Structure 1
Amino acid sequence: MNVNEELIRYVEREILPRYDAFDRAHRRDHALTVIAASLRLARYYEVNPDMVYAVAAYHDTGLREGRERHHEASARIVRGDRNLRRWFTEAEVATIAEAAEDHRASSGRPPRTIYGRIVAEADRVIDCETTLRRTVQYGLEHAPELDREGQFARFAEHLRTKYGEGGYLRLWLPESENASRLDELRAVIRDDRQLRVRFDELYDDELRREA
């Protein structure tokens, strides 16, 4: 899908660099992954590609105010960015802000619009290796006081709570590849031995990268 070139240049110059200051699981590469996945999913729907792009680009910008309410902060950032009025009406900006707010997996309610469902689905990024690594990275970044066993306990608990059978993760779009990828991830989560082996490999690799 074609996105306005001026909008892309603005986002690449002013918005994406903000991700460089976030934890390793939410850096610029994550934003770019969500943008690409959102635009792929958008092909199945009658939507404005510029709006899809903007939602994906801004969805985690609120992390500068902390993780707990970052989705709400992202919505405020969208509403407060006067530059977006160069490409969008006030109603469109409001929809972009709502979608950015609705992307969070643990929000407890479904996204209000197709734009929210697209970015929420794209943000899942359910690739087994990527999900496991990002979970290790998040623990090292946000709970550095934990030793190896503490990190593993946090890692396993998070994966089971979010991705396990009965977890809070919800998939919103049938066109996504996430359903089959979630099955693969759940197979690892169910296998305690394999889960520990994968954790140790990734944990050691991340420590080497930090050295």
Structure 2
Amino acid sequence: MPAPTVQLDLMEFVEQNILPRYNQFDRAHNMAHILRVIKRALTLAEKIGADVNMAYVAAAYHDLGLEGPRAIHHITSGKILMADQRLRKWFSKEQLVTMKEAVEDHRASSSRTPRSIYGRITAEADRDLEPEVVFRRTIQYGITNYPELGKEAQWERFERHLNEKYSTAGYIKLWIPGSINEQYLNEIRNILPNKTLLRQWFERLFAEETP
């Protein structure tokens, strides 16, 4: 049996009306990021038998709240999804509530377990844990949001953030066992204690991001 696919008219709506909004965000949350999140969300949904249409929409809306304060962007994103009357063409009110909660639950720093499988899918899909992607996005975020920092200050921020989030004592959580993210997170955790190796990563990527 072929894998389920997203409804064509729903996909057209999202691609035309939702995804372009990501062009205004920083390089760590731009169009390339949202497309990767959507791809991973659909792969996970198909793997575990979840509704691919719901997984698709939750992923597509998950960072729209970056149009406002970053600290509450997950809450704002959920409100944007719930308020979008156009989605009622494809989903019931109960499905919209589930997707809203999934968007709210995606944030890596959240101490709350996602309330549904769609929250787990969205949270897991948002964790693009291939080491080079993590390191590059961390540098991109620092350059974009703290342009006043010099190279050494950017390095200090880079190292501090990675340890706070991705180390064995970090706050990141994975919600779907057996995902590729488990392998990637272990790779990152093997790199972090080796400050020389981590600095080599930083030097190469920082040079590429600041030509």
Following superposition, the deviation at residue 166 of structure 1 comes to 1.0
Aligned residue number for residue 77 of structure 1: 80
CA distance in 2, matches of 1:4, 1:109: 31
Give ranges in structure 2 of 5+ residues lacking alignment.
none
Classify the secondary structure of the residue corresponding to 1:44: helix
Contact 1:161 1:168 in 2 (8 A): yes
Which of 147, 150, 153 is equivalent to 1:147?
Answer: 150
CA distance in 1, matches of 2:51, 2:126: 19
Following superposition, the deviation at residue 96 of structure 1 comes to 0.6
List aligned pairs for 1:186-201, cutoff 5 A: 186-201=189-204
Identity between Structure 1 and Structure 2 (%): 46
Amino acid at match of 1:165: T
Following superposition, the deviation at residue 175 of structure 1 comes to 3.1
Amino acid at match of 1:41: L
Question: Is 1:135 aligned with 2:117?
Answer: no
Following superposition, the deviation at residue 47 of structure 1 comes to 1.8
Following superposition, the deviation at residue 60 of structure 1 comes to 0.4
Which of 57, 64, 74 is equivalent to 1:61?
Answer: 64
Aligned residue number for residue 100 of structure 2: 97
Amino acid at match of 1:191: N
CA distance in 2, matches of 1:203, 1:181: 21
Q: Which runs of 4+ in 1 moved over 4 A?
A: none
Classify the secondary structure of the residue corresponding to 2:18: helix
Give TM-score, length-normalised by structure 1.
Answer: 0.97
CA RMSD in angstroms, aligned pairs only: 0.8
Amino acid at match of 2:26: D
Amino acid at match of 2:129: I
CA distance in 2, matches of 1:66, 1:13: 25
Classify the secondary structure of the residue corresponding to 2:210: helix
Aligned residue number for residue 31 of structure 1: 34
Which of 13, 18, 31 is equivalent to 2:16?
Answer: 13
Deviations 1:62-120 (A, max 9, x none): 10002110000000000110000010001111111000010000011110000000110
Deviations 1:100-143 (A, max 9, x none): 01000001111000000011011111101011000000000001
